[in-house]
């Protein structure tokens, strides 16, 4: 069998994983669930994400960087970190379940569906990152196909058994159990024969990066929390269905950024060349696709989902503008160089800007203002990183085709002014 490029396989996996989640939303919308019930499902996904995304991203990126030097010790340290952190989260949810369910407007019984989902979901992310560092591109492609096929199948089965969000969460949890069994088959031998004495060093190396992901990545989750708090579950569902980044852009960019860390850590000059050429390939694919989606989203949303979600396209189009900062990759160089302190400071400022601008703009233009707040924060983060790299001697032109990038960005912004801004004035 011809080996598959691992970076592209990792990107494909991320696309299929997200595609499965989108298909789940479509299934729920087409199966007669009202916006309030779908809002409950989205709340469960929100809580799972907001409690784990930052430290998982930090530790998984640390694993990618350290796996070459530490061998099997790195995977053992990662698994131990995930186990301890997930246990702490679940214990906190049990202790503070009344406060959590009151804040998110959930019945307390949902905690007992949420906890197993969080446990198996958190461990499942190790699978694709382990395959990435082991250069198992062919297996990643198979895992991607399995994810895209099995998740909708499990959800459809659950919906056919009973029209309840609880059954859907159980179905997704069962899929994650299968993925965890496969993970143990991959790493079981290495895990139990590894020395975990380096765990503290691994954890401390990943902690600053985890904090930077907390402040940098919580912007999207903060939007959901703000909407969930100030608006109804139906409004939350309508917002959440629209306020998602263009999946291909987000997932391909994230996967590319993670893979770049590996190459930059091995040979920075080669990694910068890969960044420049690879990012341009992504622009040629993703900017035109984003432009077409922005033009057609007003008609796509009621067709793909239903009329309840007709106005979701407004939030989707605002989030499409995130393609512009998303397709710059200075953060990969920050991680490979170990500049986690700088990244943390930038992320903290980004978080403050996101919350402040979202709440302020919400008072002026309502729900769209929350999405605009996130857009402002993302632009701030990337501009800061580009300026710091420039001062450290790494010009933007060293890792970016500047003219091509600016052209695509201006065209996308122009299409937004024509198709969407008029609806907000």
DSSP 360-402: HHHHHHSHHHHHHHHHHHHHHHHHHHHHHHHHTT--HHHH--H
Q: What is the DSSP string of 99-122?
A: HHHHHTT--GGGHHHHHHHHHHHH
Which of 255, 287, 292, 247 minimizes the C-alpha distance to 406?
287
- Residue 17 DSSP SS3: helix
CA 345 to chain centre: 21
User: Could you tell me which of 117, 116, 50, 51 has the C-alpha nearest to residue 88?
Assistant: 51
pLDDT in tens, 319-350: 899 999 989 999 888 888 878 778 778 888 88
What mean pLDDT comes out for the span 47-65?
84
Confidence of residue 69 (pLDDT cuts 50, 70, 90): low
Asked if residue 46 is part of any domain, the answer here is: yes
Q: What is the pTM of this model?
A: 0.67
DSSP 421: I
In a domain, 1, yes or no: no
* pLDDT given for residue 127 in this prediction: 92
pLDDT in tens, 174-186: 999 999 999 999 8
What is the C-alpha to C-alpha distance for residues 425 and 423, in angstroms, rounded to an integer? 6
How much is the mean pLDDT over the chain? 84
Percentage of residues of the chain with pLDDT beyond 70: 92
Q: Which residues of 387-406 are buried (b: 16+ CB within 10 A; e: fewer)?
A: ebbeeeebeeeebbeeeebe
Length of the chain: 425
**Is the model more confident about 7 or about 16?**
16
Which residue range forms the structural domain that includes residue 96? 6-424
CA dihedral 80, 83, 86, 87 (to 10 degrees): -120
Instruction: Taking residues 73-85, report their average pLDDT.
Output: 87
Q: Is the pLDDT of residue 312 over 80?
A: no
Indicate if the pLDDT at residue 352 is higher than 60: yes
Q: What is the tally of structural domains in the chain?
A: 1
pLDDT interval class at 196 (50, 70, 90): low
User: Given a cut of 80, is residue 302 above it in pLDDT?
Assistant: no
Kindly tell me the burial class for residue 292, based on how many C-beta atoms sit within 10 Å of its own C-beta (0-12, 13-18, 19 or more).
exposed
Residue 219: per-residue pLDDT? 64
* 218 located within any domain: yes
């Amino acid at each position: 069998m011809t080996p598959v490029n691992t970076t592209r396989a990792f990107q494909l996996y991320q696309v299929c994983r997200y595609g499965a989640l989108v298909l789940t939303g479509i299934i729920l919308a087409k199966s007669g669930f009202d916006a309030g019930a779908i809002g409950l499902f989205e709340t469960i996904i929100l809580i799972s994400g907001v409690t784990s995304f930052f430290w998982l991203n930090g530790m998984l990126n640390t694993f990618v960087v350290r796996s070459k030097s530490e061998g099997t010790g790195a995977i053992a340290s990662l698994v131990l970190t995930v186990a301890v952190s997930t246990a702490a989260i679940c214990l906190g949810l049990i202790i503070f379940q009344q406060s959590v369910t009151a804040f998110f407007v959930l019945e307390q019984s949902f905690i007992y569906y949420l906890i197993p989902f969080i446990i198996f979901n958190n461990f499942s992310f190790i699978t694709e990152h382990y395959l990435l560092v082991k250069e198992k591109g062919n297996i990643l492609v198979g895992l991607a196909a399995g994810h895209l096929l099995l998740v909708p199948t499990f959800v459809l089965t659950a919906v056919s058994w009973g029209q309840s969000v609880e059954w859907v969460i159980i179905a997704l949890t069962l899929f994650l159990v299968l993925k965890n069994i496969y993970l143990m088959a991959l790493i079981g031998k290495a895990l139990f024969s590894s020395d975990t004495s380096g765990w503290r060093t691994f954890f401390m190396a990943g902690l600053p990066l985890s904090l930077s992901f907390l402040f940098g990545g919580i912007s999207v989750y903060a939007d959901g929390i703000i909407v969930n708090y100030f608006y109804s579950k139906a409004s939350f569902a309508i917002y959440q269905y629209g306020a998602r980044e263009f999946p291909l852009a987000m997932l391909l960019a994230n996967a590319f950024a993670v893979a770049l860390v590996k190459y930059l850590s091995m040979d920075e000059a080669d990694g910068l060349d890969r960044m420049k050429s690879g990012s341009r390939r992504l622009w040629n694919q993703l900017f035109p696709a984003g432009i077409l989606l922005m033009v057609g989203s007003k008609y796509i949303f009621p067709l793909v989902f239903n009329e309840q979600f007709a106005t979701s396209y407004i939030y989707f189009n605002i989030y499409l503008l995130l393609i512009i900062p998303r397709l710059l990759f200075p953060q990969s160089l920050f991680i490979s160089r170990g500049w986690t302190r700088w990244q943390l400071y930038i992320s903290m400022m980004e978080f403050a800007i996101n919350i402040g601008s979202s709440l302020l703009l919400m008072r002026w233009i309502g729900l769209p203002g929350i999405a605009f707040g996130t857009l402002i924060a993302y632009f701030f983060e990337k501009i800061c990183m580009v300026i710091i790299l420039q001062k450290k001697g790494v010009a933007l032109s060293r890792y970016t085709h500047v003219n091509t990038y600016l052209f695509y960005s201006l065209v996308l912004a122009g299409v937004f002014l024509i198709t969407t801004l008029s609806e907000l004035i």
